[in-house]
Structure 1
Amino acid sequence: MWLYRNNPRSSKYPIVLYDWQPSRKADHPREFLKDFSGIAVTDGYQVYHTLGKERHDLKISGCWIHARRPYAEFIKSVGTPAAKGSIAAEAYLMITEMMHIDNGFDDLSNSDRQKQRQHVLQDKVDAYFEWVKLKYNQVTHNSVIGKALAYSINQEEYLRMFLTDGRIPMDNNYAEQAIRPFTIARKNIVLMESDHGAKASAMIFSIAETAKANNLNTYEYFELLLSELPKHQDDKNLEFLDNLLPWSPEVQKKCPSRLKKS
C-alpha cells in the first residue's frame, strides 16, 4: 500500500490518498506522480531517489524522524540508563535538538523560515554529519549503530534538503500518521483476497483519512455519502460532487468532528 498526502500546514484542502499496487517497484510512484511537480518528503526508500534523479521538476527530501528512529530503537532495547553516553543517545539528542529548534519556526513565512534555518540550523546539521562520519569509522559497520550511522550518511543529500526551502518539513510524519490506521487494520483483516478488494480498501481508507484530516466525523460523513450518492446515479453532470467533498461548507456543517477544536 503506497500512501500520498499533501502538507496540511501549507495546503488549503488536506488530502490523503492510498494507492494499492502489487509490488514496491518504482513504476507505481512514477505513474502516480507523473503529473506532479514540486517536493516530495519521503523515507529513505531508494525508489523515490530514483524518481528524483529522473526528473528536474521533482525534488526528494528526506525525513529526520527516520534518521533518528534507529537510535531510538537501540536506546529502547538496552534501556535509557544503559544507553546514557552512547553514540545512539548522543545522535538522538542532536537530531531532537534540531527538530525542536525548527518547530520554533512554524509561525514564520516560508522565506523567513528558510533564513532562520540557514542562520541557526546550518551549522548544527554540518556538525551532525561531520560527527556521524567520524563515529562511523570507529564502529563495526555491520552493527546496529553502524547501520544507523550509515543511514544518515547515505541519506545526507536528502536530509539536508529542508535547509534549501522553507516549505519543506523536516519529517514526513503526516504521511506516517495516515498509514498507521491501515497498518493496524491489516492485523484485523489478516489478508485481502484479490487486487480488486485491496483497491476498494484503498478507496475507503482514502475517504476516511481525508475526512479525518478535514476535521469531520467519519461515520457521519460516510452516512451522508451513502445517502446522497444514490440520488445521483443517473446524473451526467458531476458538479454535485463539489458539495460532497470533505471541505465543502455544507459537509463541514453537517458532519463536524466531535474532536474538532473551536
Structure 2
Amino acid sequence: MGKEIESKDKEINNLKNELAYLKGQILNKNKKIFGQSSEQVDSSQISIFDEAENNTDPKAIEPTIEEITYKRGKSTKNIGKKDNLAHLERTVIEHKLEETNAVCNKCDSPLVVIGSKSKEVLKYIPAKLYIEEHITYSYACKPCEAADGISNIVTTNAPRTLLYKSMASNELLAHVMNLKYHHAMPLYRQESYFKMMGANLSRQNLSNWTIAAASEFGVVYDIMQEELLKTHYIQADETTLKVIDAKGKESKSKKYMWLYKSANSKSPIILYDYQKTRAGSCPKDFLKGFSGYLQTDGYAGYNSVENIKRFYCLAHIRRKYHEIIVHLDEEALKKSRAIIGFNYCEKLYKIEKRLRVEYSNHEDYYKNRYEIRLKESAPILEEFIDYVEREIKDALPRSPLGQALEYSRKLLPNMKIFLEDGSLEIDNNGAERAIKPFVIGRKNWLFSSSSKGAKASASIYSIIETAKSNGLIVEKYLVYLIDTLSNTEIKTRDTLIAAMPWSNELPNELKVQTRK
C-alpha cells in the first residue's frame, strides 16, 4: 500500500511539473504575440501609411530659432538653448516695392519705409537626377612629331567614380545605400522612386551597384576590424536572416548576422559579419587576436573565443524573472519566489542608474563607478547567487522558475567580472541597440537575394552604423568616403585611415550639428 501511495505521489508531482511547464510556455507565447516587449519594433515603425494622421497636432508649435524654455521634471540644464535649426544655411529675401510703385496713390509723394516684419519658412529642395557628360580631349605637339617622329601627347582626365564602368555617380551610390540601409527602403521601392524622377533604374541595376560598391569597401571594413580588435572591451550579439539560394528558393538552414561593437569607446566601431551558421567558430575566427573583455548573452558558442574574459548580461537574467511575474496578479505576486530574483536585478540596476546621474559628467566616472560597485553591487550579487543556489533545490526543473534559476546559476558567477573595471557595463544592451537597425531593415526587405548580397549588407551596415555612432551625417559621409576611395591609387591603411568614421581629420560639414 505504501509503495502504491508513493508511486501515485510521484506521478502527481510529475503532472504538476508538466502542468507548470506548459502554463509557462503558453504565458510566454501569449506575451510574445499579444504583449508589449522592449525587444519588439516600435509600433511607429510599422504604421507607415497612417503615420501623418496619427501624429498630427494642430496646436503644435512650429520650429523656430528663437530661444525656447523647456519644462522638464528631472533636469533644467538645457533651459534657454536654441533650436537646432539655427545652424542651417539662411537666405534672406526682401520684399520691397518697385521704385515706380513706391509712391502715394493720393498725392504721388515717395513712400518711406517705417517698419518691417520677418517670416521664416523652412524650405526643402527636391532631389533631381540629371546626366553629367564628361568629354576628355587628347593634345599632341605637332612640331615635336615633325622633328622627332614622336608626339608629345597630353590627355585631360574626367572625374573618377568608384564604379569605373558604371554610369552611377558617387553621389547616386551614396543615396541608394543611404535609402536602403539607413532608412530601410528596399530596392523594389527605390525602383519606383527613381521612376517617378524620370529614370528607369531596375532593382537589378541598383543591386549590382550596391554589391560592387560593398566590394570596394572591403579595405575599409578590414581597417575597422583591425581597430576593433585593439580595443579592450567588445559587446557581441547575433540574429537570423533569410537568404535565397542559387535556385531562387529560400535556404532551409538558418543564416546569421553577427554583430561586434566596441563598448564605451570615444570612437565607436560597429561591425556586422554574415555567416552561414551559428557555430562557435564564427566569433572565434572573427575575434582572433582580441584579448580583452567580451560581453554577450548566455549563448555557449562564444565560449570558443580564446584569450578573453567573457561575462554576461544582467538584462537577459532579469528578463527570465520578468516573464514569470508579469502575468501574476497582486496576490500571486506576494507569494511568488520569482519576484525575489527580479528584485535583486532591480537593486543592481538602481545603483547603475544612480551612478549615471551623479557621476557621468565627472572625469573620474569609471573610477568612481568601480569603487562604488565594489562597495554596493558586489554584496548584492553575492546574495543573488546564494538565493539561486537555495531556490534551485526545491524548484521544479521544467517550470518557468526552475528554468530562470538554472539560467541564472550558469551566468551569475561570471557576472562578477563587470566589477573588475569601471568601464564595463552591467548588460549587453549596447549590442542589442546596435543590431536593431538590421532587424528593422530585415522587416522591410525580408531576405537577402544571395550570400553575396548578405555579405554586402554586412559591409555597408558596418560603415553606416559606425558613422552614425561617431556623429556623422550618413549620406554626406558616404559621398566623402566613396570620393576618397575613387581618388586613392593605392588603398592601404596609411592612405585611408584619415577617412575612417572616427578620424579627427574629417571635414566639419560631415558632422551632425548639435545644440550649443
Q: Distance in 1 between matches of 2:392 and 2:494?
A: 58
Structure-2 separation of matches of 1:149 and 1:172: 20
CA distance in 2, matches of 1:83, 1:249: 57
Instruction: Give matches, 1:59-138, under 5 Å.
Output: 59-76=309-326, 78=327, 81=330, 84-85=333-334, 86-106=336-356, 107=359, 108=364, 110-138=366-394
Instruction: Sort the Cα spacing of 1:99 and 1:141 in 2 relative to 1 into closer, same or farther, 3 A.
Output: same
Counterpart position of 2:200: none
Give the 3 Å change call, closer, same or farther, for CA 214–83 of structure 1 in structure 2.
farther
What one-letter code is carried by the residue in structure 2 that aligns with 1:99? Y
- In structure 2, the CA distance between the partners of 1:112 and 1:179, relative to structure 1 (3 Å rule), is same
- The amino acid of 2:450's aligned partner reads S
Match of 1:245 among 500, 504, 510: 500
- In the TM superposition, what are the counterparts of 1:223-262 in structure 2 within 5 Å? 223-232=479-488, 234-235=489-490, 239-251=494-506, 253-257=508-512, 260=514, 262=516
Aligned-partner Cα distance in 2 for 1:5–1:238:
20
Query: For the structure 1 residues 165 and 83, does the alpha-carbon distance in structure 2 shift closer, same or farther, using more than 3 Å as the test?
Result: farther
Deviation at 1:195, TM superposition (A): 1.8
Secondary structure (helix, strand or coil) at the match of 1:84 reads: helix
Q: Which runs of 5+ in 2 are unaligned?
A: 1-256
Residue by residue over 1:199-233, the C-alpha shift from the partner in whole angstroms, topping out at 9 and shown as x without a partner, is 1100111011111111112222223323443233x
Whole-angstrom CA distance in 2 between matches of 1:69 and 1:209: 27
- Residues 385 and 413 of structure 2 are in contact (CA less than 8 Å); yes or no, is this contact kept in structure 1? no
How far the C-alpha of 1:163 sits from its partner, in A, is 2.1
Judged with a 3 Å threshold, the aligned counterparts in structure 2 of structure 1 residues 237 and 95 are, in CA distance, closer, same or farther, namely closer
RMSD (CA atoms): 2.4
How far 1:79 moved relative to its partner?
Answer: 6.0
User: Does 2:430 align with 1:174?
Assistant: yes
Decide whether aligned partners of structure 1 residues 252 and 246 sit closer, same or farther in structure 2, where only a CA change above 3 A counts: farther
Kept in 1, the 8 Å contact 2:280–2:303? The answer is: no
Greater helix fraction, Structure 1 or Structure 2: 1
Name the stretch that deviates more: 210-219 or 199-208.
Answer: 210-219
Matching residue within 13, 18, 33 for 2:287: 33
Are 1:70 and 1:148, in contact at CA under 8 Å, matched by a contact in 2? yes
Unaligned 5+ runs, structure 1: none
Change (3 A) 1:164 1:226: closer
Q: Distance in 2 between matches of 1:221 and 1:83?
A: 55
| % same residue | 35
Structure 2 distance, partners of 1:225, 1:80, is 56
Structure 1 residues 61-120: Cα deviation after superposition (integer angstroms, max 9, x where no partner): 1111111112223344x1675763333333222212212213444544545433322221
Deviations 1:14-64 (A, max 9, x none): 10011111111111111111111111111111122343xxx4x31101111
Q: Deviations over 1:118-155 (max 9, x none)?
A: 22122111111111222223332112222112111011
Which amino acid counterpart does residue 246 of structure 1 have in structure 2?
Answer: P
Alignment match of 2:476 (pick from 197, 220, 233) = 220
Q: Distance in 2 between matches of 1:42 and 1:255?
A: 33
Compared CA separation, residues 171 and 230, structure 1 to 2 (3 A)? same
Whole-angstrom distance in 1 between the partners of 2:302 and 2:448: 26
Paired amino acid for 2:281: D
Q: How does 1:16-55 map to 2 (within 5 A)?
A: 16-51=270-305, 55=306
What is the match of residue 162 of structure 1? Answer: 418
Give the direction of change, closer, same or farther, for the CA distance of 1:248–1:50 in structure 2 (3 Å limit): closer
Query: Which position in structure 1 is the counterpart of 2:184?
Result: none
* Paired AA for residue 136 in structure 1: I
Q: TM-score with structure 1 length normalisation?
A: 0.86
- Which segment is superposed worse, 100-109 or 203-212? 100-109
User: Corresponding residue for 1:192?
Assistant: 448
Distance 2:382 2:352 in 1: 15
Give 1:3 deviation, angstroms: 0.8
The equivalent position to 1:146 in structure 2, one of 398, 402, 408, is 402
Note closer, same or farther for the CA distance 1:257–1:145 as it changes in structure 2 (3 Å cut): farther
Q: Is the 8 A contact 1:40 1:61 kept in 2?
A: yes
**2:339 partner letter:** A
Amino acid at match of 1:63: C
The 1:261–1:136 alpha-carbon spacing in structure 2 relative to 1, beyond 3 Å, is farther
* Conserved? CA contact 1:216–1:252, under 8 Å: no
| Aligned partner of residue 260 in structure 2, secondary structure | strand
Task: State the number of aligned residues.
Answer: 253
State the match for 2:134 in structure 1: none
Mapped partners of 1:58, 1:261: distance in 2: 40
Q: How does 1:2-17 map to 2 (within 5 A)?
A: 2-8=258-264, 11-17=265-271
Helix, strand or coil for the counterpart of 1:60? strand
